[in-house]
Homo-oligomer: A and B are copies of this chain.
Amino acid sequence: MVTIGDVARAAGVSRSTASYALSGKRAISAEVRQRVNDAVLRLGYTPNAGARALATSQTMVIGLLAQFLEDEFAPAMLEYMLGVSDTARELGYDTLLVTDSDGAKALRRITDSRMVDGLVLLNVAQDDVRLPVLRAAPQPGALVGLPGDCSGLDVFDLDFEEAGRMMVDHMHRLGHRELILVSQPEHVVQRGGAYVWRLQDAALQQARLRGVTLHAVYGESRQPAVGRSMNALLDAYPSATGLLLNNEAAAAALPTVLHDRGLTVPHDLSVIGRYSDEFARVFSLPYSSIESAPDRLGRMAVRQLVRRIESEAGRAEPYVVRFVAPELVDRQSTAAPRT
C-alpha cells in the first residue's frame, strides 16, 4: 500500500509538505507541487479513507436508513434510495445503506462509531422511534416523510393535504359528485404512516366543501386480496363515478379488475392515482396521477444535509420543513361522468 510518506520520499519533501501540496491549504512552490503530483501519479497514491477520517473527523459518507416494512411497496422505496445515492455522489459523498429491521439500533451504531457525516431517513413515521436517536446524534439528519415532531431536523415531503384537495377538485370540476378514495391498508396507518390520513382528511374536507360524496376506505396491500377488495368496492358504491388511489398495490391491480368488469377508463370511470412517473411506466399504469417525486425529495434531503455538514454556519441555520407541491400528470384517465 502506498502512503503519503512514500509520495513525500519520492518527491524529496516531508510528509507535511506533500499533504499541503495536495490539499492546497498552504502556499507551496510550483516546482514542489509538480514533483508531488508526479509522484502521486507514478506511485498511484490514494489517501486512506480511515486515516483521513481519523485526522479530520470527516468520513465523506452519509448514512441512508431505509426500512422495508410489511405492507409497504418496496419498488417505490428504490426510487428514493437512488435519488439519495446519486445526489450524494454528485456532492462528493458515498452512501452507507442501512436496511436493518431495528432502525433505531442500527442508527445508533452508525452514528456512535462515527461512520457517517450525516443521515437521511426514509419512510419516516408519525412517531418514529429513530428520531430521538437521531436528535441525540452529533451528526445532522434529514428526513423524507413528515413526523409529528420535526424539531431539530430538516424535513421533506410531498404536500399530501394539497394532493388530496387536488384530486377532489379535479374530479369536481369535471362534474363528478360521488367518489371513492382507496388509501393504504389500515395497518400502515396504525404503524404511523401519517401521509395516509393527511391526504385522506384533506380530501374529505374538500369534498364536504364542494358538496361531493367521498367514500374513504382502506385498501389491501397485495394480490389477490387487493383485487377482490377493489371489486367489492365497486359493487358497494355502484353510483360512484370517480376513483382516487393512494395505494400503489391497488393502482397496480386496477387494470385487471376494470377489464374483468368490462369498464373502460375514462368512459365508465374516472381514475386518479398518487405515484411517481417512473412507477407508472414500470407498471404500465394508464391513469393520471399526482406525481410523488421520490427522486426530487431524495435530492432535496441530501442537498440540505450536505449544506449543514459542510458549513459551520449551516449547523446553526433554522431547520426547514419543506413540502413539494403536487403536480397532476395527465394520462387522460378522467373525463366528465357518464350521464
Contact = CB atoms under 8 A, between A and B. Distances in A.
Interface in A34-79: 44, 46-54, 57, 59, 61, 64, 68, 73-75, 77-78
Nearest to A86: B99
Contacts of A259: 256, 259-260
A206 B253 CA distance: 36
A112 B52 CA distance: 13
A82 B224 CA distance: 24
Contacts of A81: 97
Contact of A99 (B57, B68, B85, B110): B85
A27 interface: no
- By size class, the interface of chain A is 35 or more
Interface stretch (A164-172, A236-244, A280-288, A311-319): A280-288
A96 interface: yes
Contacts of A185: none
Contacts of A49: 50, 53, 113-115
Contact of A75 (B97, B138, B282): B282
Nearest to A97: B97
A327 interface: no
Given A85-B99, A96-B96, A54 B61 contact: no
A113 B46 contact: yes
Contacts of A75: 74-75, 78, 282
Interface string A275-301: 000100111100000000000000000
Contacts of A98: 85, 94-95
Contacts of A278: 74
A182 to B, nearest CB: 16
Taken together, the copies of this chain in the complex come to 2
A98 B95 CA distance: 7
A256 B284 contact: yes
Contact of A48 (B78, B109, B114): B114
Q: Looking at A44, A49, A98, which has the most chain B CB atoms within 10 Å of its CB? A: A49
B53 A50 contact: yes
18 contacts: A46-B109, A46-B112, A49-B53, A50-B52, A50-B115, A74-B78, A74-B282, A75-B78, A75-B282, A94-B96, A97-B97, A222-B281, A222-B282, A224-B284, A252-B283, A255-B255, A256-B284, A259-B260
Interface of A: 1, 44, 46-54, 57, 59, 61, 64, 68, 73-75, 77-78, 81-82, 85-86, 89, 94-100, 106, 109-110, 112-115, 138, 222-224, 226-227, 252-253, 255-256, 259-260, 278, 281-284
Given A49-B50, A50-B57, A73-B282, 15 more contacts: A1-B114, A1-B138, A46-B112, A50-B50, A50-B54, A74-B78, A74-B278, A75-B78, A77-B78, A82-B99, A89-B100, A94-B115, A252-B283, A255-B255, A259-B259
